[in-house]
């Protein structure tokens, strides 16, 4: 295959729960390879592990792709010429190829019970040996096998690995990789429930679906010899393998839901923009050829190249994602941002005041969902902490200051942030109050918070009546005798 030949790639997620960000990450590179060569990107659902199957998980995978804008050519509702694209619907196909391997001597029936296998592994561990199948059933005669089959003895089908030799391949990311087959176990290809294992189904499916390039995580490197020997047993041309680095948590451990949020749709619920999330995950282990940090998904699909993927595991830095998402939010045209905010607005949000409120909080928006937390004090009752209010002074001084502020702003008819700033700064300078204490005191009195949009703009948007009511309430809070 030449570099200009159409490339067929696939992503094969398992419906075992959430739609994982690692699935989206891998899919982006798969899609780029396919688009750059006029090929196809396939989505195949690997649902043969029935013990981990979660109802509705497959739908979540496609929903996540749709939200992110990761399009595919075959699979799902689109179907395609090489379906079915769900492994549980391909059992007859796998049975046919299992029979071929049994007939050619590249696989064998194994009748060992789970109890025996458990004891075998325990004995091996105690002896300091690597736990692996001891090949007890590998040399059963045809008569012995048929006798057990006729008796209905449960079995699995195992791959018959060579006794010696090496298996190697040229990895598109890691270069030459070689394994000694003596270190590779006779793994199970078909389970006792009639479902294939990943190792078998992935080879059959990739071949029948004409997948030319397989991108997957580096944890599958040690399994690749098994897969290559299956390709060899069938006389098939293997695809190009490219083993991506593992995405890691900040502590360098493998990215997992125990330490990080790995659900694509969870990021949607939190108010992240899909274009920001795509940009962020594109930079995990890959860099733009021009060194740019901000670029569209469409541009990524055009400029992605496997030789720019690093071998070491990238860190999923949530702080960088937050920063990037905030930058994307502020790049949106105002009307589009307002539309994007709609699903995250609480029912009591004053839509008629959006044009007033949005400019005040825009610079502090990290996610779209932050809009409620950043603006709620404008339209909901607040609670003021008396200790916080007088933390940098005394209740007596703060009570006096609040009275002075009320007297200074009450006469104002021009209730603008410029006029309020002039009056309050003059009051602060006149009494030589410490700026940080005086203005923080006002901020806490009218918002209940230490961190808000700019103070004078906040007062202007709150309006004269509500500002005066809150200032008076804060003053009363400090002057009311405490009961024991």
Q: Note the helical H segments in 209-255.
A: 224-234
CA atoms within 13 A on the CB side of 279: 20
pLDDT in tens, 345-403: 999 999 999 999 999 999 999 999 999 999 999 999 999 999 999 999 999 999 999 99
pLDDT at site 258: 61
Ranges of each domain in the chain:
90-244, 264-377, 386-479
Query: Residues near 271 by Cβ (< 8 Å), separated by ≥ 6?
Result: 344, 367, 368, 369, 370, 371
pLDDT at site 1: 40
pTM of this structure: 0.91
Beta carbons of 225 and 167 less than 8 angstroms apart: yes
CATH 1.10.10.350 fits 386-479, yes or no: yes
484 residues of the chain, pLDDT tens digit each:
445 699 999 999 999 888 999 999 999 999 999 999 999 999 999 998 888 888 999 999 999 999 999 999 999 989 999 999 999 999 999 999 999 999 999 999 999 999 999 999 999 999 999 899 999 999 999 999 999 999 999 999 999 999 999 999 999 999 999 999 988 999 999 999 999 999 999 999 999 999 999 999 999 999 999 999 999 999 999 999 999 999 998 888 888 766 668 899 999 999 999 999 999 999 999 999 999 999 999 999 999 999 999 999 999 999 999 999 999 999 999 999 999 999 999 999 999 999 999 999 999 999 999 999 999 999 999 999 999 999 999 999 999 999 999 999 999 999 999 999 999 999 999 999 999 999 999 999 999 999 999 999 999 999 999 999 999 999 999 987 654 4
pLDDT at site 482: 59
The CA distance from 296 to 302, in Å, is: 10
CATH of 264-377, one of 1.10.443.10, 1.10.1160.10, 1.20.1440.80, 1.20.1050.10: 1.10.1160.10
Q: Report DSSP state, residue 482.
A: P
pLDDT at site 261: 83
The CA distance from 198 to 30, in Å, is: 20
Query: Residues near 207 by Cβ (< 8 Å), separated by ≥ 6?
Result: 231, 234, 236
Here the tokens at position 104 are 């050619």
Query: Residues near 103 by Cβ (< 8 Å), separated by ≥ 6?
Result: none
The beta-carbon contacts of 445-450 under 8 Å, at least 24 apart in sequence, are 445/384, 445/389, 445/402, 445/470, 445/471, 445/474, 445/475, 446/382, 446/470, 446/471, 446/474, 447/377, 447/382, 448/377, 448/382, 448/383, 448/384, 448/385, 449/377, 450/388
Here the tokens at position 462 are 């709150």
pLDDT in tens, 135-149: 999 999 999 999 999
Q: What are the residue numbers of the active site?
A: 257
The CA distance from 369 to 259, in Å, is: 22
Cα angle: 205, vertex 207, 212; to 5 degrees: 115
Cα angle: 287, vertex 288, 292; to 5 degrees: 110
CATH number of the 90-244 domain: 3.40.50.620
Here the tokens at position 155 are 């079995």
The CA distance from 172 to 309, in Å, is: 10
pLDDT at site 479: 84
């Amino acid at each position: 295959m030449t570099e200009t030949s159409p490339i067929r790639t696939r992503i094969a997620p398992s419906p075992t729960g959430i739609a994982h960000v690692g699935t989206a990450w891998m899919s982006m590179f798969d899609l780029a390879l396919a688009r750059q060569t006029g090929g196809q990107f396939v989505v195949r659902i690997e649902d043969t592990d029935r013990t981990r199957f979660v109802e509705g998980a497959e739908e979540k995978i496609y929903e996540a792709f749709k939200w992110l804008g990761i399009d595919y050519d075959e699979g799902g509702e689109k179907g395609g010429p090489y379906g079915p694209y769900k492994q549980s619907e391909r059992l007859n196909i796998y049975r046919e190829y299992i029979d071929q391997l049994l007939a050619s001597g590249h696989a064998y029936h194994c009748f060992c019970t789970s109890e025996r296998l458990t004891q075998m592994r325990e004995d091996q561990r105690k002896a300091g040996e690597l736990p692996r199948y001891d090949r007890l059933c590998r040399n059963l005669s045809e008569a012995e096998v048929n006798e057990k089959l006729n008796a209905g003895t449960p079995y699995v089908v195992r791959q018959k690995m060579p006794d010696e030799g090496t298996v190697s391949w040229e990895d598109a990311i890691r270069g030459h990789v070689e394994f000694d087959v003596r270190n590779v176990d006779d793994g199970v290809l078909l389970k006792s429930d009639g479902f294939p294992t990943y190792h078998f189904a992935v080879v059959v499916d990739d071949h029948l679906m004409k997948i030319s390039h397989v991108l997957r995580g580096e944890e599958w490197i040690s399994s690749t010899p098994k897969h290559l020997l299956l390709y060899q047993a069938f006389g098939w041309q293997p695809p190009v393998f490219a083993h991506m680095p593992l995405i890691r948590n900040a502590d360098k451990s493998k990215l997992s839901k125990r330490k990080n949020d790995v659900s694509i749709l969870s990021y949607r619920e939190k108010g992240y923009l899909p274009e920001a999330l795509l940009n962020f995950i594109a930079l995990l282990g890959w860099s733009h050829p021009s060194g740019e940090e901000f670029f569209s998904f469409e541009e990524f699909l055009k400029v992605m190249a496997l030789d720019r993927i690093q071998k070491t595991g990238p860190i999923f830095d949530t702080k960088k994602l937050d920063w990037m998402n905030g930058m994307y939010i502020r790049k949106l045209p105002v009307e589009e941002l307002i539309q994007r905010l709609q699903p995250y607005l609480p029912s009591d949000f004053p839509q008629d005041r959006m044009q007033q409120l949005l400019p005040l909080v825009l610079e502090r928006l990290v996610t779209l969902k932050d809009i409620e937390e950043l603006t709620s004090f404008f339209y909901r009752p607040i609670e003021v902490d008396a200790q916080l209010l007088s933390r940098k002074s005394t209740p007596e001084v703060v009570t006096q200051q609040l009275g002075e502020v009320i007297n200074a702003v009450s006469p104002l008819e021009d209730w603008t942030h410029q006029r309020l700033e002039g009056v309050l700064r003059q009051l602060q300078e006149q009494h030589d109050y410490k700026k940080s204490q005086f203005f923080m005191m006002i901020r806490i009195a009218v918002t209940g918070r230490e961190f808000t949009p700019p103070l004078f703009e906040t007062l202007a948007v709150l309006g004269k009546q509500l500002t005066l009511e809150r200032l008076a309430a804060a003053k009363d809070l400090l002057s009311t005798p405490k009961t024991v």
